[in-house]
Amino acid sequence: MRGILLGVLLMVSGFCQAQVVQVVEKEQEVNGVIRRGQQLSVELDPKTVEKSWKAYLSEKAGKVKSSKGLFTVEGAQIDTISDAPMRVISMVGSSAQGSSVWWSLDMGVAYIDKDATPEEYAASEKFLRGFARKVYREDVLRQINKAEDVLRATKSEQDRVVKEANSIQQSIDKNRQRRKDLEAELAHNAEELKQLELSVQHNARQQEISRQQVQDMEKSVEEVRAKLRDIK
């Protein structure tokens, strides 16, 4: 149990140090149309990232419509990127690092482009990196919660082992006391047996004395009877 806990903590520590957040400009075909956008790569499970990204878009941009893995936000309001409403098209997929989040931002007159709209491009990249920090933080918190669950289980197991050790020690103490009691009882029985044996010997001597006294009395009675017979 302790090994599992240490393993989880080391995994969390190593993961925090090895986080990779990469954003690149990338074209993506969406419903037969090639669109220019940005792609974020994170080292997390795609299902977890997709769920978090949809919630993040909903919170930061507006109502999200989803269809076959494609997210769309019409009239998205993201003030940190542009003062004007935008149309957001996005999708989440798998990548060599784990997951990829791609999006394209249509400002009405132009798409956000690294060369054509550098300020908006930098702001949207910052937006994606903010999401990456959020999902990494959430993942670390999940791992910490898992480690805490293991810690609680470890403490519970430790309490059980200590309780078991105390119970065993109590049994040993009772056994030792019972042994002392039995030894004392055996010693008492031995002394009692010795006294009984002495009593038997004493009784045998008394029986011999009593038998001799009976014989003497019978002899005396016989002598008296003889005297009575001699009287004429």
Please tell us whether the domain made up of 2-145 is placed in CATH 3.30.1330. no
- In the chain, where the domains are located: 2-145
> What pLDDT score does 7 carry?
56
Please check the confidence at residue 2 and state whether its pLDDT lies above 70: no
Element housing 62 (H / E): none
Cβ atoms of 37 and 117 closer than 8 Å:
no
The CA distance from 117 to 120, in Å, is 6
pLDDT at 226: 79
SS3 of 65-120: the string is: EEECCEEEEEEECCCCCCCCCEEEEEEEEECCCCEEEEEEEECCCCECCCCCCHHH
| pTM exceeds 0.85 | no
The whole-number average pLDDT for the span 101-118 is: 92
Predicted pLDDT of residue 16 = 45
Q: How confident is the model at residue 92 (pLDDT cuts 50, 70, 90)?
A: very high
Residue 57 makes CB contacts below 8 A (sequence gap 6+) with: 64, 71, 73, 76, 88, 90
Using DSSP bridges, classify how beta strands 22-30 and 33-42 pair: parallel, antiparallel or unpaired: antiparallel
Nearest to 78, CA basis, from 95, 92, 94, 90? 90
With a pLDDT cut of 90, the percent of the chain lying above it is: 49
Measure the CA–CA gap between 159 and 172, rounded to whole angstroms.
20
pLDDT at res. 15: 45
Range in 14-23, 123-132, 213-222 the model is least confident about: 14-23
Cα distances (angstroms) measured from residue 211 to each of 145, 205, 206, 208: 96, 10, 8, 5
pLDDT of residue 10: 52
Among candidate residues 68, 64, 94, the one with its CA nearest the CA of residue 76: 64
- Please give the distance of CA 106 from its chain centroid, rounded to a whole number: 49
Mind listing the pLDDT tens digit for each residue in 48-61?
Answer: 999 999 999 999 99
In terms of pLDDT, which residue wins out, 158 or 224? 158
Confidence of residue 36 (pLDDT cuts 50, 70, 90): very high
